[in-house]
Amino acid sequence: MRGTWRGSLTARLTLVATALTALALLVLLAALYAVLAGRYQDAVDVGLRARYGDLQSAVLRVDPNALAGELYAELHLPSGATISSPGLEEVAPLLDDATGDHRYFAQALRNMRVLATRQRAGNAHRSPWPFRVDWRAGAARGEVSGNVVYILRAYDLLIAHGYAEFERPRAALWRWIKREPIPDARGDGRLFAQFFEDHDNPANRSAWAPLTLARYLLERRDAIDPDWRRDAGDLIAFVRTHFTHEEAGVRVCHEQDEDHDAWGGINATYGAVLALYAKATGSAALAEEARQALTFTLYSIDDRGHPRDLAKHADNGGWQEDAHTDVIHNIVDALNAYPVWGD
């Protein structure tokens, strides 16, 4: 959870443990579904087989009791496979700091070394990593992956921990982001395709990719990008143009070209990032739009406090990140920007 909240150590560890449990369950359930559907290559977000070129000496050997170790046991994956998902490499060092369990950091470090080893030169038509890798044969699936900001954040964290080996790949990744995806927000956004879905479709752009990048710029500002106001503004404008619509008189955000529902996770993300940008630029109009979008998502909570992933769904629950996980930290971010909204 982002923000300035500082609860007791017990409360913070409980929060971390709850988030980790939810993440592990989501990864496990998604993987089991993929296996049952026969889509073994989609069982994990990034699966690199031991015989994948020169990675034989760099692949992971995961302790069965370590993070997501249950996944290996359930799926009978090769011992040389690696597990990765959006944000995992960024979160694991934080879990290490909070819990003192160094297995989390070791997992992140191993994953990032694999990613750094396989990082390629990106251009206007491909990202530094493919969208997916088939762990059975090592073949790349999809030249564009819109999900690279979490890797940039993980590079930052590891460099801050003294791992200078990541400075060069981090610099190369940022140069590509500045040169290609950010200007692409002023065009058709083709480099924002293929963020997380279980199939590769280079025409399926998402709001997640530009919003996560805009949030990063708004957090780091001049420390990362002297043009952060313009660049973050262009990314948000791209989302407003291509991924927002009106429901009940409120501008809300849907997550991708293939799905036009205002799920809790993406709509809360839109509201929070818009609030951060409005605060940074002093825009009262955008602040009000952000507040309304977040309020719309809060209507997914019923009178007994039970969350739903989509306001129009009658049943409680649903996708965890849309019903709960992503919604909470985004509301915290927005309240940090505009405390009066909590009155």
pLDDT of 23-81, one tens digit each?
A: 544 444 444 444 433 333 333 333 333 322 333 322 233 232 333 333 333 333 343 44
In a domain, 178, yes or no: no
Helices (H) and strands (E) in the chain, counts: 13, 4
The residue out of 150, 166, 186 marking a domain boundary is 150
Residue range of the domain that includes 272: 206-343
Q: What does 202-225 look like in DSSP terms, one character per residue?
A: TT-BBSHHHHHHHHHHHHHGGGT-
Distance of alpha carbon 114 from alpha carbon 238, whole angstroms: 32
Whether residues 217 and 315 fall in one domain = yes
In a domain, 221, yes or no: yes
Which residues lie below 8 Å from residue 129, measured CB to CB, with a gap of 6+? 46, 115, 118, 119, 120, 145, 148, 151
Distance of alpha carbon 216 from alpha carbon 187, whole angstroms: 21
| pLDDT on residue 213 | 98
In a domain, 173, yes or no: no
Whether residues 37 and 107 fall in one domain = yes
Distance of alpha carbon 91 from alpha carbon 16, whole angstroms: 10
| pLDDT on residue 96 | 67
Whether residues 211 and 137 fall in one domain = no
Whether residues 136 and 63 fall in one domain = yes
The residue out of 128, 150, 172 marking a domain boundary is 150
Look up tokens 């590509």; give the residue.
Answer: 176
Whether residues 122 and 41 fall in one domain = yes
| pLDDT on residue 87 | 55
Whether residues 15 and 129 fall in one domain = yes
Whether residues 127 and 226 fall in one domain = no
In a domain, 161, yes or no: no
Whether residues 139 and 39 fall in one domain = yes
| pLDDT on residue 199 | 80
| pLDDT on residue 90 | 58
How far is CA 140 from each of CA 101, 129, 263, 331, rounded to the nearest angstrom?
Answer: 33, 9, 30, 37
- Residue 140: strand pairing partners: 133
Q: How many domains are there within the chain? A: 2
| pLDDT on residue 56 | 30
| pLDDT on residue 39 | 36
Contact 262, 311 (CB under 8 A): yes
Whether residues 94 and 15 fall in one domain = yes
In a domain, 193, yes or no: no
The residue out of 115, 135, 150 marking a domain boundary is 150
Contact 128, 121 (CB under 8 A): yes
Spans in the chain with pLDDT lower than 50: 1-5, 9-10, 12-17, 20, 24-86
Whether residues 142 and 4 fall in one domain = yes
CATH of the domain at 223: 1.50.10.20
Q: Which helix (H) or strand (E) holds 252?
A: strand 250-253
In a domain, 158, yes or no: no
- Predicted structure pTM score: 0.74
Q: To the nearest 10°, the Cα dihedral for 2, 235, 300, 86? A: -60
In a domain, 186, yes or no: no
| pLDDT on residue 65 | 32
In a domain, 105, yes or no: yes
Whether residues 145 and 9 fall in one domain = yes
Whether residues 1 and 110 fall in one domain = yes
- Residue 132: strand pairing partners: 141
